[in-house]
Amino acid sequence: MELYNYIKSLHLIFVITWFAGLFYIVRLFVYQIEANDKPSPEREILLKQYKIMTYRLWYIITWPSAVLATIFALWLLHLMPEWIQMPWMQVKLGFVVLLFAYHFKCHQIYNQLQNNEFKYNSNFMRLWNEGATIILFAVVFLVILKNAFNWIYGVVGIVLFSVLIMLGFKFYKRIREKK
């Protein structure tokens, strides 16, 4: 049982650092996209710095955290194989698949920005950043409540909260543009 607690602790630590990396990388994408609209030489200076920052975050924190969180998760499932049969765990694993899809899409965006391909605007990236938040809420509620259905309330709440934040952002942007 003591081994289980150590493995669970390590899994949780790397899940936290993985999410921290995902939250921050998308914020850096926003800054990088906005830097591309700056005049020269400010644009070149900022883009160079953001490329370094995103590289370090992505390959020194985010990817290693994703790999280690996965290794410790698989180890936990090896120690507790009966969890696979539980409905809440099956739903959680579905969200983990979504998290990896989100991670791989972030990797694609990362590669595009490293190659100076700007396919998305900063508003899209701000909205995209909410994806990881929704997944995080769903997984936390699932793990804590261990119920495959009660997590819906938490996810609906965060989606509504995210919509309010985005509406507030658009409202603030309009006020700022009028000044």
Predicted local distance difference test score (pLDDT) of residue 171: 84
Q: 92 a known binding residue? A: yes
User: With bands split at pLDDT 50, 70 and 90, how would you rate the model's confidence at 165?
Assistant: confident
Q: Is 110 exposed, middle or buried (0-12, 13-18, 19+ CB in 10 A)?
A: buried
Q: 8 a known binding residue? A: no
172 pLDDT exceeds 90?
A: no
Average pLDDT, stretch 121-128? Answer: 89
The more confidently predicted of residues 50 and 127 is 50
156 pLDDT exceeds 80?
A: no
Average pLDDT, stretch 159-164? Answer: 80
Side-chain-facing half-sphere of 125: CA atoms under 13 Å: 22
